[in-house]
A and B are shown apart, each in its own frame.
Chain A
């Protein structure tokens, strides 16, 4: 082993560059993972961001490039199509660049500024193209880029949309109840002596035809003819109390429901709980009253004890949800405890937990950087609560997960949105979008969703959708470059946690750049090193492919401590895979066992008899049924069409069952003559008279002959 290779191994094992080696520190060298080589300037890329948060509420948000594509699909046609496309795409870039440089505001304002700039250039018909596009756009709202504010902006918007819908439904419900209760009171007045007075009647009819009616006469008639019943005083008081309670509620829109700290939300919830219980009770009683179903003897005692402890998620569902937008860095133990208490006790709370930084110094003090364990723990604990909706996603994926976000907001129960913003500020020039995407790619911050309303098992509830190349430990991408001889070369590169750490300036001590002259055959890729386990082949050193600011390819070796973190990250990802049904070890064992038991699959004939399909016109097999005892009269009851012929003839002998189909109730309750007559008059011929019960009945011989066709 030569000296340089020994130095590489020494760095890998100790994390220290010995004085004699030519290994370079990566700090400040501007290196970035090789797979990011093409993503220098995001403004040149058409991707999901920025987003337009739909102020109209039709959708949650639309990606800016998606909106432009939609518009172009509608208007870029005919001979002007190319020109319109060119202008709209320039405007798109202009807006994206402005947003990336910090411009804020609604799309209409950004559009106007960008359009003014483009129109001032020496390009004809720009205004025409953009006017056409503006007309077809059909969306406006705040424009949000993928930055530190995105999670809060987007989730707050989603919460507001959901709450607006809930508020409208709640108010409509209250209005309906108040109207129903008021109608009961009004009807009572109309029935009263006062309501039957001539002047009241005249006012009720209105001006039209007022002279044609003698209201005094009408009042006399109504006073004597109208029912005298009026509302019981207790019911009147109850209804008046309900109307007052429903009209004076504080939940829509008086209270505030957005908080920055879980403890503040929990305190507010607890403080308002008695009022919430009282209002829920009032609504429930009002519902019964409006349907005239309230019975004092039944309901009084039960509603007397209705309080906060009888509220369940169905009741809470109609009230506004509490929205907590918290940053993980501010989450001290007390806040964390309040957060978990809310999530695990089914409170109507939607929590955005934003992570700006995923990496943390190892708590055991050995000086290496690792994934912050709280991130995984909090989401796992929320899922273990059973009825909390949990979504985890980096901000780069939020747009694609928008249905999940809306699902969590609409979910009747607690929801946790754990979002990594990528805006920790520890990366050298890497945008928050790329940083967040790197967290997703490297499995440092995998995306998942847990929806308790989707079913009763994990297969229905848990989803890993959104993660790239789900079935692998890490996504593997082709990487094409030019080698020393200017020939095209390519290799498959896995994006691991080491690549993510390499984007962070605090991770620099785990890496060392190898000068090109010292490149040798001892390098192995990170995924191969992880797969090989602790016993990496002697002399083999894991290395990353990175590029510098001049896009020159570099090899960077990684120390053992980071390799251990990468392994741990893979283990965590694998346990998520198992939950998501990917390489589930239980299922794989079962499959293997079944395969061993049944042998290899064969081209077997159908194991089940084919379903019998009776083609047109052919007969079905008859069902063999037990007949009645010989000589006993009977009716084919299921065929009876309730025509009343037999029951009119002798209701003691023939009767209807619970389906109003006839049967012989008592064959001795009449004569055989009646039995025969019933059989003859039954149009469906389903009455079978059997043998005579009384051998002394007159005319039996003739009756038996008449009964013969029906036996």
Chain B
């Protein structure tokens, strides 16, 4: 509750944030790294949505992508390997007033953090998650990750990776309570931005896999795709993304896909070539865990103490009972 004059005042003194206001430092990523494109798309989103920096938090794990919070002039939490999601869930529960973003890499999310990833999808807490998937451990200089393509030679797989790559989209779409899954590629900025925006506006666990180039360790991996627009498939729908005519003129491989169709989303997600980009699945009806657990009681120290006392009292042996 505020008075009318306060409303006016707040509007009067509302400061407009420009893109520079979200830039936290000069990125140390390599030139040509797809992380730069993601950073730009996210900074544009923050500016266009006028997110208050002090009400926005980016949480990350470990890896190239997880340096992301350093380059945002917002709150950030550079966590430990694979644990970006539980940290973000804690932030979400404790501070429901914040916009929570998570930046995680293919190693961070799909390998060491896989268990957290699965349960975070199931919890469906309101946060926007970007999986920066460059299909390699880049920070530690080229080891195979779970999403590395079969046959990829790396420092840990000198004879080539033995296994088929894990597909993060199909995994996510197979988990109960999944509510938003999208895919983008770092080299189509318009589509990346639209996807990031749609993910932000979805209330629930918005999972965006961003296929990303690593110019340092896998410079040739996406070259054929970059030079052949037909190897990217635009998913469009009135309830999904609606790419501009200019984009549709370049990327002529297009597919009408209704994001409410989970079965079809799973089929599309399982195709690696062409790369489907757009919203695969969206279900705004899935309840958020924090809403299910919301309580009327504010967790004051007194309330916690009273709850603990009540719990301890259950195990108290009263002198008269003990004597009896």
Q: Which residues of A contact B (CB under 8 A)?
A: 168, 170, 172-173, 175-176, 179, 280-281, 283-284, 287-288, 293, 295, 298-299, 302-303, 306, 310-312, 314-315, 317-318, 613-623, 625, 638-645, 648, 658-661, 681, 683-685
Contacts and interface: CB of A to CB of B under 8 A. Distances in A.
Interface string B178-189: 000000001111
B59 to A, nearest CB: 22
Interface stretch (B99-107, B197-205, B242-250): B242-250
B189 A640 contact: yes
Contact of B7 (A170, A295, A314, A645): A314
Contact of B1 (A280, A617, A658): A280
A615 B27 CA distance: 42
Contacts of B245: 620-621, 623
A172 B298 contact: yes
Contacts of B3: 280-281, 283-284, 306, 310-312, 315
B140 interface: no
A127 to B, nearest CB: 36
A616 B254 CA distance: 6
Which of A179, A620, A621, A658 gathers the greatest number of chain B CB atoms within 10 Å? A620
Given A622-B249, A638-B190, A641-B40, 18 more contacts: A173-B1, A179-B298, A281-B3, A283-B3, A284-B1, A284-B5, A288-B6, A302-B5, A310-B3, A618-B252, A621-B249, A623-B245, A638-B189, A638-B246, A642-B189, A643-B31, A648-B31, A660-B40
Contact of A311 (B4, B18, B255): B4
A306 B5 contact: yes
Contact of B9 (A299, A317, A623): A299
Nearest to A682: B32
A623 B7 contact: no
B43 A660 contact: yes
B296 interface: yes
A298 B249 contact: no
Given A175-B298, A643-B32, A302 B256 contact: no
Tier of interface size on chain B: 35 or more
Contact of A642 (B4, B5, B39): B39
Given A314-B7, A315-B4, A684-B187, A623 B249 contact: yes
A623 B247 CA distance: 9
B44 A660 contact: yes
B213 interface: yes
B19 interface: yes
Nearest to A658: B19
A621 B1 CA distance: 52
B171 interface: no
A181 to B, nearest CB: 14
Contacts of B87: none
A202 to B, nearest CB: 18
B175 interface: no
B186 A644 contact: no
A620 B186 contact: no
A296 to B, nearest CB: 13
A616 B255 contact: yes
B160 interface: no
Nearest to B255: A616
Contact of A620 (B6, B9, B252, B296): B252
A638 B187 CA distance: 10
24 contacts: A172-B296, A172-B298, A175-B298, A283-B3, A287-B2, A293-B10, A303-B5, A310-B3, A310-B4, A311-B4, A314-B7, A613-B256, A615-B256, A618-B252, A619-B252, A619-B254, A620-B248, A640-B189, A642-B36, A643-B215, A644-B32, A658-B18, A659-B19, A681-B32
Contacts of B80: none
A618 B254 contact: yes
A684 B5 contact: no
Interface in B222-257: 223, 226-227, 245-246, 248-249, 252-256
A684 B189 CA distance: 11
Contacts of B312: none
Contact of A315 (B2, B192, B300): B2
Contacts of A638: 189-190, 246
B285 to A, nearest CB: 23
A645 B32 contact: yes
B33 interface: yes
B1 A302 contact: no
Contact of A644 (B10, B36, B187, B246): B36
B31 A179 contact: no
A170 B252 CA distance: 56
Contacts of A644: 27, 31-32, 36
Contacts of A683: 32, 187, 213, 215, 223, 226
A639 B180 CA distance: 26
A642 B215 CA distance: 13
Contacts of B246: 623, 625, 638
Nearest to B187: A641
Given A172-B298, A623-B245, A284 B2 contact: yes
Nearest to B234: A620
B272 to A, nearest CB: 17
B13 A641 contact: no
B183 to A, nearest CB: 16
Interface string B21-35: 000000100011110
A315 B6 CA distance: 10
Contact of A284 (B6, B18, B226, B248): B6
B37 interface: yes
A31 B317 CA distance: 78
B2 A643 contact: no
Nearest to B213: A683
Contact of A659 (B44, B249, B253): B44
B184 to A, nearest CB: 11
Contacts of A619: 252-254
Contacts of B253: 617, 619
Contact of A617 (B7, B227, B255): B255
B256 A639 contact: no
Which of A170, A645, A648, A685 gathers the greatest number of chain B CB atoms within 10 Å? A645
B1 A283 contact: yes
Given A284-B3, A620-B254, A683-B226, A660 B9 contact: no
A298 B254 contact: no
Which of B18, B27, B37, B39 gathers the greatest number of chain A CB atoms within 10 Å? B37
Contacts of A617: 253-255
Contacts of B37: 641-643
Contacts of A681: 31-32
Contact of A641 (B44, B189, B255, B296): B189
Interface string B249-270: 1001111100000000000000
A642 B9 contact: no
A387 to B, nearest CB: 15
A310 B37 CA distance: 48
A442 to B, nearest CB: 45
A658 B246 CA distance: 20
Nearest to B1: A318
B5 A659 contact: no
A620 B213 contact: no
Given A644-B32, A660-B40, A616 B1 contact: no
Contacts of A613: 256
Contacts of B226: 683-685
B115 to A, nearest CB: 32
Contacts of B4: 310-312, 314-315
Contacts of B213: 683
Contacts of B40: 641-642, 659-661
Which of A170, A638, A648 gathers the greatest number of chain B CB atoms within 10 Å? A638
Contacts of B298: 172, 175-176, 179
Contact of B31 (A317, A618, A645): A645
B50 to A, nearest CB: 14
B130 to A, nearest CB: 15
Contacts of A616: 254-256
